[in-house]
Amino acid sequence: MKLLTAILLALFATHPASAGTALDSLSVLAPEAPAAEPAPKADLKEWTVMVYMNGKSNIEPFALTDLNRFETAGSDANVNIVAEIGRSKGLDNDTTADGDWAGVRRYFVTKDADPDHIASPLLADLGSPDMGDWKEAAAFVKWAKAAYPAKKYAFVIWDHGWGWLDPVKPGQNPMDDEKSISHDFVTGNYIGTRQMGKIFREAGKVDLYVSMACFMQMAEVAYEIKDGADVIVGAEEVIQLPSLNWEGFLAALSANPGASPEKAGVFMVDTFKEMYSRPEMQDLLQQGGYGTQLSAIRGSKMRGLAARLKTWYQLAMAADDRAALARAKAEVVRFEIGDPSTDPDKRVALYGDLSHFVELAGRYADKARPGADKAAAAGRSLNRFIASELVIRNAALGKDRTGKDFSSVKGLAINIPGKPGTLIEYYPTYSKLFFAQDSGWEDFMKYLDAIENR
């Protein structure tokens, strides 16, 4: 686990910060927010898709590639696509593509067939604001809503992701802050799990939120943003390249602009499944030893999930069937949040599929134990809720490097301690999460941590 900590620290090592804020350096190219009353809803476009692309890191080339992929569809009479994209100089995987500029820019995405050049109109050169600051993300959403009002809004955060996990910068006390997505390697900052909810409280609710980042479809993360988005799309596992099926999703949205937020979430998941079902993508997944997954869930159902989860785990603790829970810990599909060299069996990895874990605990339960029947019934009720009410659409393909089939992955991950004693130093921040406070899941995590997975 020390190696995992070292890897995280190295990944998020800070670099000299660049001065300047979006407010200080906003280009006059940016369209003005409407001064008069907003247009009647009937006159608005159906959708504005807002993509916050933090390429100020070691994935800069892929940010440029994906922006070019947006241009395969481009904005049209019914759909606006706007992007705020950052890039830098001197970091790993730095590229000189597309003029080798550095900083943060905003584009109105238009249709273009050149995959190697961004042809969309440049709206604003922002200088080099901190894309790891939640306030910058909120400012982008507020600007996009004002400049390109629509009936429905989709917001995408594009970058690295670590689920709820709170990476600790060198010399930082883990209690100081919480960080999980949009890592700006120039400033050393990143948006925290608790800070994600602040984006929507500042900028207003959206209809569809998408994490184009690894590990973000977790109960702990979704609970923070449940009031900010009707539909939440993300992956429990690592998102492989070429990321999401932007071409397919944008084409589907353009062809069906009246789609509801839930239908748009289905488009995102179904096109993802189509892309990763192609033979060449299946070969890529097999070579890498990864399964892949994406799901769309209802934010409004997260409180119901927390309540049902609490009922189940309290009954499971009362039954105290440690043998069944040990097998569930060992066999649940876990996600690649560790290092294969130090965790070859994925027994340390902290994230696992919630529904699969609950199902395994019930499958292996000793039915003769007092309270076993109540715990099993609560587990079945919880999983029915996940399948029929929480999850709108789920796509899970392939097997991981331990041979576990992703058909068992049902759409939402949760923190499930691995081998006993591997609660790492980020855990002091867990109790700050709204999910931890409302569900009490941390009590069950500590109980599970003392159980050896068999």
Using 50, 70 and 90 to split pLDDT, how confident is the model at 338? confident
According to DSSP H, which parts of 167-278 are helical?
A: 193-203, 219-225, 246-255, 261-276
Return the H-helix or E-strand segment holding 141. helix 134-147
* The pLDDT value given to residue 166: 66
**What average pLDDT does the segment 136-164 reach?**
97
Residue 422 has pLDDT above 70, yes or no: no
Q: Concatenated DSSP letters for 374-412?
A: HHHHHHHHHHHHIIIIIEEEEEEESB-TT--BGGG--S-
Largest CA-CA distance found in the chain, in angstroms, rounded: 73
| Tokens of residue 445, six digits | 């995590």
Which residue is it, tokens 């039954």?
319
Backbone torsion region of residue 319, taken as left when φ is above 0, otherwise alpha when ψ lies between -120 and 50, otherwise beta: alpha
Q: Are 372 and 321 in contact, with CB atoms under 8 Å apart?
A: yes
Q: Which of 17-31, 72-86, 315-329, 397-411 has the lowest mean pLDDT?
A: 17-31
E strands, 24-119, are: 45-54, 79-87, 103-108
Q: What angle do CA 434, 436, 439 make, to 5 degrees?
A: 100
Using 50, 70 and 90 to split pLDDT, how confident is the model at 53? very high
* The pLDDT value given to residue 149: 98
Which of residues 17 and 312 earns the better pLDDT score? 312
Residue 237 has pLDDT above 60, yes or no: yes
Which of residues 2 and 429 earns the better pLDDT score? 429
Residue 179 has pLDDT above 60, yes or no: yes
- In whole angstroms, what is the distance from residue 46 CA to residue 256 CA? 10
Q: Concatenated DSSP letters for 251-278?
A: HHHHH-TT--HHHHHHHHHHHHHHHHTS
Return the H-helix or E-strand segment holding 150. strand 150-158
Residue 40 has pLDDT above 70, yes or no: no
Using 50, 70 and 90 to split pLDDT, how confident is the model at 454? confident
| Tokens of residue 366, six digits | 């000793």
| Tokens of residue 394, six digits | 């789920």
Can you say how many angstroms the Cα of residue 107 is from the centroid of all Cα atoms in its chain?
A: 23
Q: What is the pLDDT of residues 99-127, one digit of tens each?
A: 999 999 999 999 999 999 999 999 999 99
Side chain identity, residue 445: M
Using 50, 70 and 90 to split pLDDT, how confident is the model at 86? very high
Residue 170 has pLDDT above 60, yes or no: no
Q: What percent of the chain has pLDDT over 90?
A: 75
Residue 173 has pLDDT above 80, yes or no: no
Q: Is 298 helix (H, G, I), strand (E, B) or coil?
A: strand
Q: Which of 119-133, 238-252, 329-343 has the lowest mean pLDDT?
A: 329-343
Q: What is the pLDDT of residues 201-220, one digit of tens each?
A: 999 999 999 999 999 999 99
Residue 66 has pLDDT above 50, yes or no: yes
Return the H-helix or E-strand segment holding 296. strand 292-298
| Tokens of residue 58, six digits | 């070691």
- In whole angstroms, what is the distance from residue 232 CA to residue 265 CA? 8
- In whole angstroms, what is the distance from residue 12 CA to residue 185 CA? 7
Provide the mean pLDDT of the chain. Answer: 88
- In whole angstroms, what is the distance from residue 215 CA to residue 337 CA? 8
* The pLDDT value given to residue 6: 37
- Domains of the chain (ranges, CATH numbers): 2-271 (3.40.50.11970), 302-449 (no CATH)
Query: Which strands, in side-by-side order, build the sheet including 122-125?
Result: 122-125, 103-108, 79-87, 45-54, 150-158, 206-212, 229-234, 292-298, 391-397
Residue 284 has pLDDT above 50, yes or no: yes
- Sort strands 45-54 and 79-87 into parallel, antiparallel or unpaired: parallel
Question: Which residues, at least 6 apart from 431, have a Cβ–Cβ distance to it below 8 Å?
Answer: 437, 442
Q: Are 201 and 271 in contact, with CB atoms under 8 Å apart?
A: no
Residue 3 has pLDDT above 50, yes or no: no
Closest by Cα among 91, 96, 92, 74 to 83: 74
Closest by Cα among 402, 238, 399, 219 to 313: 219
Residue 365 has pLDDT above 90, yes or no: yes
Bond before 242 cis per omega within 30 degrees:
yes
